[in-house]
Structure 1
Amino acid sequence: MNRKPDRAEAWNLLTEFVHSDNLRRHALAVEAVMRHLARKRAADEEEWGGIGLVHDIDYERYPEEHCTKVRDILGQHGWPEEYIRAVVSHGWGICSEEEPLTDLEKSLYAVDELTGLVAAAALVRPSRSVLDLPVKSVLKKWKDKTFAAGADRSVIERGAAMLGVSIEELVADTIEGMQAEAEAIGLKGNL
């Protein structure tokens, strides 16, 4: 099948399966970063963004089957196999055996966890904003393993290595991507 789902379809599917505002904001953050990385690599921004938007579509309803149930959900909605594979691969080594192979898959794998760390770093700032968040603040929080402990640094490190970029560059790209959607992801703050 050559049909590529558009953003509206991805959003409608996400809102059908995900009702948590926090999980929706996370999906929007990952989408924004994936779009940024696609532009940077001259890749298909709609494809990267759509995959970023739906990457956790099975998490809320089927937490024990995360990255497994997504095959059924996206497959039943006619999503292309390469999109489904990309979504499944973001859980590599955690809840999936599908290793990220393409730049898109490696990017999703790397930024999924990192968006949470960046969001947490923004929220402890006086401004509570990603708009004035410097890379060095995130890197300082990175070293504190108790801060945003749910953000698996080893996954982020593996993702950066797979992409051939430094943690600093990946953090900078993640911040920049999230800044584009600061209001939608609840991180505009009070500048």
Structure 2
Amino acid sequence: MSTLTLKRAKEILAKHTTEPHLFLHAAAVSAAMGAMADHFGADKEHWEAVGYLHDVDYEKYPDEHCHHVRELLEPEGIDEEDIRAILSHGWGITTDEAEPETDMEKSLFTVDELTGIVQAYALMRPEKMDGMALKSLKKKFKDKRFAAKCSRDIIQRGFAMLGMEPGEVMQCCIDGMTAHKEELGF
């Protein structure tokens, strides 16, 4: 088994997903995961690939999200480590199978929801991702009515798991998503 590449992740996701907003979310999480990999000195493309593929079973099984990951990815030859990382983003939410343990797993658990807040904030700004200030994002994060579907509780649990300051993780999301703003439609 070889390391999952972003190209391969995109091929696999396209087999199971058709909705444009899910591809956009995949790209946002992938971008944030790349910045988190940089933070941890890890393999950036590998983390981006795992981030891109994290919702592989969501469109087909929205009410059983994370319960079909293994059956979709094992036949594709995806490493157990990557399957586990993908499963871990649903820990305590949709499944209890894989508690996040590695930096990659903890990062995916955290940025999955956090990218939604960054994206919502970018959409309301005339300059989109350009010049997004951490201080302003923190304000939006504190406003529970803003991007209300993005669970602050899950994100806070992720910050605690990572043992990082919330601002550090938010800045990684801003940096990663800014670097991929064209792909994200910003």
Query: Please, what TM-score do these two structures have when normalized by structure 2?
Result: 0.96
Q: Which amino acid aligns with 2:121?
A: A
Are 1:121 and 1:137, in contact at CA under 8 Å, matched by a contact in 2? no
Question: Is 1:150 aligned with 2:149?
Answer: yes
1:5 shift after superposition: 2.6
Distance, in Å, in 1 between the alignment partners of 2:5 and 2:153 is 32
Residues 70-115 of structure 1 deviation map (CA, whole Å, 9 limit, x = unaligned): 1110111110111000000001111011210000000000000000
Give 1:66's aligned residue.
Answer: 65
Distance, in Å, in 2 between the alignment partners of 1:32 and 1:119 is 12
1:30 shift after superposition: 0.7
CA RMSD of aligned residues (A): 1.1
Counterpart of 1:111 in 2: which secondary structure? helix
Query: Please, what TM-score do these two structures have when normalized by structure 1?
Result: 0.93
Distance, in Å, in 2 between the alignment partners of 1:124 and 1:94 is 28
Q: Tell me the percent identity.
A: 46
Counterpart of 1:67 in 2: which secondary structure? coil
Give 2:124's aligned residue.
Answer: 124
Q: Which amino acid aligns with 1:138?
A: L
Residues 38-90 of structure 1 deviation map (CA, whole Å, 9 limit, x = unaligned): 12211122221111010001111110121111111011111011100000000
Distance, in Å, in 1 between the alignment partners of 2:7 and 2:78 is 14
Counterpart of 1:92 in 2: which secondary structure? coil
Give 2:80's aligned residue.
Answer: 81
Distance, in Å, in 2 between the alignment partners of 1:179 and 1:23 is 19
Are 2:4 and 2:50, in contact at CA under 8 Å, matched by a contact in 1? no
Q: Which amino acid aligns with 2:118?
A: V
Counterpart of 2:182 in 1: which secondary structure? coil
For this pair of structures, how many residues does the alignment match? 185
Give 1:105's aligned residue.
Answer: 105
Moved more, 34-43 or 22-31: 34-43
List alignment gaps of at least 5 residues for structure 2: none
Distance, in Å, in 2 between the alignment partners of 1:186 and 1:55 is 20
List alignment gaps of at least 5 residues for structure 1: none
Distance, in Å, in 2 between the alignment partners of 1:58 and 1:135 is 32
